[in-house]
Amino acid sequence: MRHLTLTGRKIMEGACTSTALVSHAPISFLGGVNPTDGKVTLKNKDIPGQCVKDKILVFPEHVGSTVGSYVLYSLSKRGLAPAAIIVQEADAVIAVGAVIANIPMIDRVDISQIKTGDTVQVDGEKGTATILKRAKS
């Protein structure tokens, strides 16, 4: 497979390579992700019960309370944070959360190209996400 590089906007610098965890529905960190175990708790999501720890978390947008920034920070302090975040369109809450939690983040990326289980390399400085390996179907 040729690597597919998607270019977006850099929000938080940093780089990593990990497995993608993709939600096609918006995510709320307050009430949607358990800060004590890192698992997605909302039942209407396509990734319920999945842990965000060390994953490239991919979703269209953040919804919900401004407390979501602090939930991301709490996940980081507990060692349960995503390795990076790719969001279709970032709002101030998720951007601040990524900055205070030191999580590489980019937005304005065509997230429909990324599937759960893909191996993805995120470069927050360049604003790119490169799909290195596709998940087995």
Cα separation, 37 vs 130, in Å, equals 28
Q: What is the pLDDT of residue 42?
A: 82
Over residues 19-25, mean pLDDT: 96
Per residue in 64-117, pLDDT tens? 889 999 999 999 999 999 999 999 999 999 999 999 999 999 999 999 999 999
Alpha-carbon torsion angle 48, 81, 20, 136, nearest 10: -70
Average of pLDDT values for 2-26?
A: 96
What would the pLDDT profile of 33-70 be if each residue is shown by its tens digit? Answer: 999 999 999 876 789 999 999 999 999 999 988 999 99
- 4-133 homologous superfamily: Phosphohistidine domain (3.50.30.10)
pLDDT confidence of residue 1: 64
Total number of residues shown for the chain: 137
**What pTM, to 2 d.p., does this model score?**
0.96
Q: Provide the residue type at 54 as one letter.
A: D
Active-site annotation, residues:
65
Which amino acid does the sequence have at 48? P
Return the pLDDT at 47. Answer: 93
CA–CA distance, 41 with 46 (Å, rounded to integer): 11
The residue extents of the domains of the chain are 4-133
pLDDT for residue 85: 98
- Residues near 129 by beta carbon (within 8 Å), at least 6 away in sequence: 5, 6, 8, 56, 86, 106, 109, 114, 120, 121, 122, 123
Contact predicate 126/6, CB 8 Å: no
